[in-house]
Structure 1
Amino acid sequence: MRRHLVLVLITLLIQLVFPGIVVFADENHGADYSVHPILPDNQREGRSFFDLRVEPGTKQTLQIQINNFSDQEQTYFINVNTAQTNGNIVIDYGQNELPEESIVQQPICTLVDYPKEAVIPGNKAGVVTLEVQAPDTSFDGILLGGIQVKKDFSAEKEESNQPFFSEYAYVVGLMMSANDKEVVPDLKLNEVRSEVITNNAGVVAVLENPQPINIKGVTVEATVHSKGQEEPIMTRKIENGGIAPESVFAMPIYHGEAGNTKPLESGDYQLLVEAQDETGQKWLLTKDFTITKEQANSVNHEVFTVENNTNSLLYIIIGALAAVLLVGGFYVYRRGKKFRRR
């Protein structure tokens, strides 16, 4: 009983402090469904996701199996998404729409026909069929995406009546290639601009991998200097990241620590980006930029005005509640130990 209470307190604490977290679970850890690919004959060896060698203009049927471990009939939503890169330099398979600045020549999501949902009876498995159309002409590199399956959580969410409700989804990777021609990845720095980053002040570096190949195990370090000064005023380093093929993405660089940033100042600056992938390929990118008074004032007003400071108050309240929960859990634990001794 005491262990169960502590687990409940920990779960509640996580949901209070990190409400945006999406939990990826499996049947061994309480998830009531799972998803598995049924691999075809043209599957490349040693892969647990769909890694297909295709001939131009050909069609192919793919299948995934959804296992419903619950006693109730469940509805599952299905999406095929083209791989993109997020601001944390992670390949993202969960975005349903391509951004306006997308440079993907052949989005994999446009090559797959599939049902948008599947209904599976309780304690049963169901098979979903997807029809894949390879591009009409041969292509170099890879087409990369993912098949996302997510249960309809609406009834559980309404029944829970909680302000924070964790949902999870499964993604089965989908990759297509037509040949073994080597494609060398590249990295470009397109733009730097001041921006409000989830209620933080900073700048974003807009980076691009124009090649139809992903960049693996990449370390990216970005520093912002006042023009003519050696000491950086903003820094960010990301290690062991991944960059999707033909993707454009914005990497945030905070002016200070995330959650405790400092106001921006107008002036002339230079951004330096150093990157290296797992093969040892390196990039050194620089760009001069200016933050005008209007731009600095706009960001500072949005981040540091009284209205936004209410968010800080909310975090303080959440922190206090978290402390109360921890103290309460410790108190219950100690009382349980004393009771057992008696």
Structure 2
Amino acid sequence: MRKYSLLIYGLLLVLFLGITNTVYATPPSTLSYTATMIPAKNQIDEKKSYFDLLVTPGEEQQVAIKLNNASDKMIKLKVSPNTAKTTSNGTVDYSGMELENTPNLIASFEEITSKEQIVELAGNSEKVVTFTIKIPKKPFEGIILGGFYIQEIDEEETVSSKEGIHIANQFSMIIGCQMRMSEESVKKNFSLEKIYLDNYGGYFTVVTDIHNNASQLISFYSLLGEIQNDQGETIHKFRKDTFSMAPNSIFSLPERIDNSKLDPGEYVMKIDIHSRGEEQWKLQKKFTIQSDAKDKVLEKSIDRKKTQINWLLLTIVLIISITVLLILIQLKKHKN
């Protein structure tokens, strides 16, 4: 009897080890370097830790960053100029993610700035790196916003193994760069553009592209949203308590929703944006759900995959239960 019990437990152990995918993460470490901006002559406020430059059309702007290696070993740093963009979490990103800006973007920061640099720093040393920015010849209102993304080059950033996936933490620093021809702000302007279905985090989601059409940084705003059907009935409400947007950027706002609420048909997306003051913008846009588009998203939905996995586990448990029952019957016959 003990032999059969061990066999059963062994089968269960092999089963669950076989379907488990382990992910490892390296414990965090401290930064071995620092980066500080060196104020330019046309820096508006020297107390700021980022470049805030008052520029003139057609000039070549020089900016400098001091890099310091606080460790005893030699390190390599990559310094990359990137355009400010908006992530799907509603944060401003300077790391060079493949995100879109609006068509009326004044200028792409990485296109008007000299190329990225790889800098070698000996232990306990410092170095100054400079970049040249070609200011557009045409005068502009608002700001051009970008940043210098600084990260240590590590040959062991990602390591694959048979046991799982080893993810090495990568720390970085950002020095922002804001350029303007006037200290006057521009009028804010938002619009709802593309609305579509997608899988966000594996879940059935409706995504709304909110455009910040102004060359103005939006910080810590909030929004309320709702979806109405073609009868004018509200089928879903949502909110986001805080979000920020880069100038002339697109916020692809994901909202997880029960797919049964979005049958093929016509709908209206309504979003109210609120500033930290009393400003408010009411936006709305009609959109259509096509049956084939919905089915395509559902095929990759985590809910459907969970259902398939549950059926698989149920089948396995059933097989094991029958096996155990047969073993017990055989043992009873043998005893008799």
For 1:216 and 1:67, how far apart are their aligned partners in 2? 31
Change (3 A) 1:188 1:100: closer
Change (3 A) 1:17 1:107: same
Corresponding residue of 2:238: 236
Asked whether the equivalents of residues 185 and 214 of structure 1 are also in contact (C-alpha less than 8 Å), the reply is: no
Change (3 A) 1:168 1:212: same
For 1:217 and 1:96, how far apart are their aligned partners in 2? 21
In structure 2, which of residues 171, 174, 188 is the aligned counterpart of residue 171 of structure 1? 174
The one-letter code of the counterpart of 1:152 is I
For 1:309 and 1:83, how far apart are their aligned partners in 2? 41
Matched, 1:182 2:189: no
TM-score (norm 2): 0.76
Number of residues of Structure 1 aligned to a counterpart in Structure 2: 286
Pairwise CA RMSD = 3.1
Corresponding residue of 2:317: none
CA shift for structure 1 position 51? 0.2
Percent identity, please: 23
Compare CA radii of gyration and give the structure with the larger one: 2
Corresponding residue of 1:122: 123
Aligned partner of residue 296 in structure 1, secondary structure: helix
The one-letter code of the counterpart of 2:119 is A
Asked whether the equivalents of residues 88 and 238 of structure 1 are also in contact (C-alpha less than 8 Å), the reply is: no
Aligned partner of residue 299 in structure 2, secondary structure: helix
Matches within 5 A, 1:1-342: 30-45=30-45, 46-95=47-96, 97=98, 99=100, 102-155=103-156, 157-158=158-159, 163-228=166-231, 230-233=233-236, 235-255=237-257, 265-303=263-301, 304-306=303-305
For 1:229 and 1:18, how far apart are their aligned partners in 2? 49
Change (3 A) 1:309 1:62: farther
Change (3 A) 1:215 1:135: same
For 2:235 and 2:127, how far apart are their aligned partners in 1? 55
For 2:115 and 2:105, how far apart are their aligned partners in 1? 21
Asked whether the equivalents of residues 108 and 145 of structure 1 are also in contact (C-alpha less than 8 Å), the reply is: yes
Change (3 A) 1:281 1:22: farther
Change (3 A) 1:156 1:199: closer
For 1:289 and 1:115, how far apart are their aligned partners in 2? 41
Asked whether the equivalents of residues 22 and 167 of structure 1 are also in contact (C-alpha less than 8 Å), the reply is: no
For 1:86 and 1:133, how far apart are their aligned partners in 2? 27
Change (3 A) 1:265 1:22: farther
TM-score (norm 1): 0.74
Runs of at least 5 residues in structure 2 that lack an aligned partner in the other structure: 1-21, 313-336
Asked whether the equivalents of residues 193 and 210 of structure 2 are also in contact (C-alpha less than 8 Å), the reply is: yes
CA shift for structure 1 position 123? 1.7
Aligned partner of residue 176 in structure 2, secondary structure: strand
Aligned partner of residue 110 in structure 2, secondary structure: helix
For 1:148 and 1:182, how far apart are their aligned partners in 2? 26
Runs of 4+ in 1 over 4 A off after TM superposition: 16-19, 156-162, 261-264, 307-310
Change (3 A) 1:158 1:111: same
For 1:66 and 1:189, how far apart are their aligned partners in 2? 42
For 1:40 and 1:18, how far apart are their aligned partners in 2? 44
For 2:149 and 2:186, how far apart are their aligned partners in 1? 27
CA shift for structure 1 position 213? 1.2
Aligned partner of residue 163 in structure 1, secondary structure: strand
For 2:114 and 2:307, how far apart are their aligned partners in 1? 44
Asked whether the equivalents of residues 87 and 99 of structure 2 are also in contact (C-alpha less than 8 Å), the reply is: no
CA shift for structure 1 position 30? 2.1
Aligned partner of residue 156 in structure 2, secondary structure: helix
Asked whether the equivalents of residues 150 and 173 of structure 2 are also in contact (C-alpha less than 8 Å), the reply is: yes
Q: Deviations over 1:285-333 (max 9, x none)?
A: 11222212212211111114448966xx9xxxxxxxxxxxxxxxxxxxx
Runs of at least 5 residues in structure 1 that lack an aligned partner in the other structure: 1-15, 24-28, 314-342
**Which shifted more, 83-92 or 151-160?**
151-160
Aligned partner of residue 154 in structure 1, secondary structure: coil
